[in-house]
Amino acid sequence: MTPIALDPVRVAAWRSTWDAMMTGFIPGLAGLERALGTAVEALRGGPPRRVLDLGGGPGLLAERMAARWPEATVTLVDLDPVLLELARAGLPDVIGVVGADLASTAWTARAGGGHDLITAVMTVHYLSPAAIHALYAAAREALAPGGVLVVADLMPDDGLPGLMRVLDPGPGEAAAELAWARWWSELSAVPEIGGLMDARAALFRDRPPAGFTAGLSWHAAAARTAGFGEAGALWREGRHAALAACR
């Protein structure tokens, strides 16, 4: 799609609001990012050289990882055309932005291999269980030997797979949901983004999010089934947790 001209000030504001929304959805997000960075450096014995952020949206995590590891090559993957445009408009040129569908393993061809770290934060709940298994297997192949996969999402303690809608909302999530609706409503009124919003609506019209959630033990078992040698808890805050799996 041809790039469009967006006001940098408005792009920065939209990305900042997105960051605030994610903090509402994921209590302790800053703690997750600190734990992620510390653990990866410890597991690898130093900073990663190639980093891939799956479902990275407008690129806030990718940007912070690039700031923490300035010598690393950082690439973001997402499917949403609106979020991809905000990432391209708001991120420095040194961070790669790739459009690809994580429900298919074809994303590996676009993103390449040899990554030292692959992250997926609040991403896998959009996928079906079968697609999550396939993503873990594809991620393992896209990692360099000794590479680390970090997946953070709703992972309740009970370990029983289910649908997100049956879970009680956590503190702050109602406000985050309202902020989410307002954010997308504001974007829909921006003329320059009209074509991207139409493309987004057409893309997701027949593919609603799976809304699947499972305990951390389920994800660890799925990672081991995909061939990861080690997989276990990296971080937890309430119903959210992060899995680290080492190739």
Residue 75, pLDDT score: 98
State which CATH number among 3.10.20.30, 3.40.50.1100, 3.40.50.620, 3.40.50.150 fits the domain covering 8-246. 3.40.50.150
pLDDT tens for each residue of 145-169: 999 999 999 998 755 555 443 445 5
For tokens 């320059």, name the residue: 192
What proportion of the chain, given as a percentage, has pLDDT over 70? 93
27 — pLDDT class (breaks 50, 70, 90) = confident
Q: Residues 159, 216: contact at Cβ < 8 Å?
A: yes
CA 181 to chain centre: 19
Residue 164, pLDDT score: 41
Beta bridge partners of 241: 153, 236
2 — pLDDT class (breaks 50, 70, 90) = low
Distance separating alpha carbons of residues 53 and 121, to the nearest angstrom? 8
Query: Looking at the whole model, is its pTM more than 0.85?
Result: yes
Distance separating alpha carbons of residues 154 and 135, to the nearest angstrom? 17
For the chain, give every domain's residue range: 8-246
Distance separating alpha carbons of residues 223 and 243, to the nearest angstrom? 9
Q: Mean pLDDT lowest for which of 90-99, 165-174, 192-201?
A: 165-174
